[in-house]
């Protein structure tokens, strides 16, 4: 595990610094004030982009990535599957068992502040903490980060994870606290899953699925 952490120390350090910065902002201004500031600076272009980007945190997107990776490396696909399932189970357990009923922004601000809501988005009302979309998207994109040596691709995946997380705040589906917690769950499960799968010795895991489907008998 130490060698794994050293290999990806730069991206993990940057993630940790951003997480700490987010927590400092949260402790200083509070989730409500931060949400209002973001909500006041929405734009027509932002509404259009965020409405679609947020779907990269859906289970359908995660399933598509997992299936596509089968044709690159079975090991990579299994790591993604493990990270997706574990992060999802943890997020949903916390959301529905530990923090059940916590109001989302649409309910929290009723009678306090008139939120700008993006047309065409079904706004959820309760079970805000943590953000399941954020847990999923950070699990998926950080698994991709941990399975490539290309620094440019790592940077793209890193930015996409945060952008999807931000979209949950922009669309008033979650508070910043929900997204930060979801990101931590996703990154943690991505690290654990990729590490565990990397320890499996079977060499056939490093081959794509089509090699086995069309192998000569």
pLDDT digits (tens, 9 = 90+) for 174-189: 999 999 999 999 999 9
85 vs 88: CA distance, rounded Å: 5
Q: What is the pLDDT of residue 216?
A: 58
pLDDT in tens, 69-98: 999 999 999 999 999 999 999 999 999 999
Residue 140 pLDDT grade (very low, low, confident, very high; cuts 50, 70, 90) = very high
Q: What is the pLDDT of residue 131?
A: 98
Domains identified in the chain and CATH numbers: 2-193 (1.20.144)
Q: What is the rounded average pLDDT for all residues in the chain?
A: 94
């Amino acid at each position: 595990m130490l060698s794994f952490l050293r290999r990806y120390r730069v991206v993990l350090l940057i993630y940790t610094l951003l997480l700490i910065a987010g927590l400092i902002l949260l402790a200083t201004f509070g989730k409500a004030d931060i949400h209002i500031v973001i909500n006041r600076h929405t734009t027509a272009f932002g509404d259009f982009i965020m409405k679609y980007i947020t779907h990269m945190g859906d289970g359908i997107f995660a399933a598509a990535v997992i299936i596509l990776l089968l044709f690159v490396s079975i090991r990579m696909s299994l790591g993604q599957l493990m990270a997706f399932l574990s992060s999802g189970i943890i997020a949903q357990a916390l959301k529905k068992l530990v923090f059940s009923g916590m109001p989302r922004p649409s309910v929290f601000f009723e009678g306090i502040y008139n939120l700008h809501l993006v047309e065409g988005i079904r706004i959820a009302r309760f079970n805000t903490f943590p953000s399941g979309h954020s847990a999923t998207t950070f699990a998926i994109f950080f698994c991709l980060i941990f399975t490539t040596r290309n620094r440019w691709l790592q940077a793209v995946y890193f930015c996409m994870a945060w952008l999807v997380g931000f979209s949950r705040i922009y669309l008033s589906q979650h508070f910043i606290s929900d997204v930060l917690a979801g990101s931590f769950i996703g990154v943690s499960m991505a690290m654990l899953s990729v590490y565990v799968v990397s320890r499996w010795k079977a060499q056939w895991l490093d081959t794509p699925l089509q090699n086995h489907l069309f192998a000569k008998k």
